[in-house]
Amino acid sequence: MHGKTALIYSSDFGRYSYGTDHPFKVQRYQLAFELMQAYGLVALPGADVVESRPIEEDTLLTFHSPDYLARLREFSASDVPRADFRYGLGDVENPVFRGLYDWALRGTAGTVEAARLVTENGYAVAFNPAGGWHHAHRAKASGFSYLNDAVIAINWLIARGKRVVYLDIDAHHGDGVQEAYYDTDRVLTISIHESGIYFFPGTGFEHETGTAAGKGYSVNVPLLEHADDALFMKAFDEVAFPLIAVYNPDVLVTQLGADTFRTDPLTRLEITTHSYTYILRKLKALKIPWVAVGGGGYDNVNVARAWTIAWAVMNGVELPSRLPASFVKIIEEMGFPNKMLFDAMHWAEEDDRNRALDAVEKSIAAIRKTVFPLMLERHG
């Protein structure tokens, strides 16, 4: 028995557009669902495909400011292009389009529904691919993110007395989530990401460990460009996994961005499905009620492969390596040459790898010196 699982999905996730030239393509949700269908993963015993329930604005106000939400709704209802840079709205990164608010609300509602399913309905795992908007701030859109679904869902969990670990394995630092919980011990945030030295959002360094009651509850492992599978697994095994085990949360919330992959057009890590799958399997083995959300990924087939692998792991299903012929036909027409679901383990070039290894070892040593003693003292 693997416990009941839920996939939050709606065809409405793919009915909007950030613009033809924008790197974020909402069509990736439908593509991921089609690959899951092709593998027979949407009709598994004990696995439900569900749509999210509507949520009230009061739920959003547990994090976002009223004036920001009002401006987001106003712009969303207009057919005329609008911009208000105080709120991060209307620039190239965060475009405004008709229906934006409703679309962002649907993805956020999916993550809140996932939290409800694992805490109230006995689901072991609930996965909302249309979540993962970890850059949204209280009163500002950022990094393609308008509503911070993870923070809103975590606040829903906290209000019900739950202690939460938030683990983010997207290539970008989960800055909006860290910011929300920087001074509390009710949430342990862990982010493994490409270093912000020259990379958006420019945060997520080892010294960012929280303040006040939250001291030691913000954990960051920045990876230099060209970090590969072995280094990604090292960061997870030596930092994230032991901290999750010591903190022993009631609920695990994970952001599963696929932009860490070496063929992603916006990032410079060299990670593949090998380490991504490894981490997912270790998370499942913890047997903690698990809320998973999507996140980044700017090669649509990488996203489809990653989230199909995630859903299979969540359901204890082993998949064949070759992509189903029906799916290959779909992506060939889109110009993607992929034929395989899984990648071989990848090693970066020696010089690049040595620099990345030296950096991650220094990061791990710093975290073990500053965070681990605090965590063991309070939870060991």
Catalytic residue among 64, 135, 172, 193: 135
Structure tokens at 331: 């992506």
Contact (CB, 8 A) for 351 and 225:
no
Q: Which ranges of 81-173 does DSSP label H, i.e. alpha helix?
A: 100-120, 149-158
Structure tokens at 141: 């859109």
d(C-alpha 59, C-alpha 156), whole Å: 8
Instruction: Give the number of C-alpha atoms closer than 13 A to the C-alpha of residue 138, restricted to the C-beta side.
Output: 9
Rounded to 5°, the CA angle 32-301-352 comes to: 130
Strands (E), 259-351: 290-293
Structure tokens at 293: 């959300």
Question: What is the residue type of 102?
Answer: D
Structure tokens at 219: 């954990």
Contact (CB, 8 A) for 210 and 183:
yes
Rounded to 5°, the CA angle 332-321-315 comes to: 110
CA distances (Å), 266 to each of 176, 230, 299, 372, in order? 20, 21, 9, 33
3-state helix, strand, coil in the chain (%, to 5): 40, 15, 45
d(C-alpha 314, C-alpha 351), whole Å: 36
Structure tokens at 259: 């932009």
d(C-alpha 13, C-alpha 103), whole Å: 7
d(C-alpha 53, C-alpha 147), whole Å: 16
Q: Which of 150, 88, 93 is nearest to 294 (CA)?
A: 150
Q: Which DSSP state fits 77?
A: T
Contact (CB, 8 A) for 153 and 117:
no
Task: Reply yes or no on whether 135 is catalytic.
Answer: yes
Cis amide leading into 373 (omega within 30): no
Catalytic residues: 135
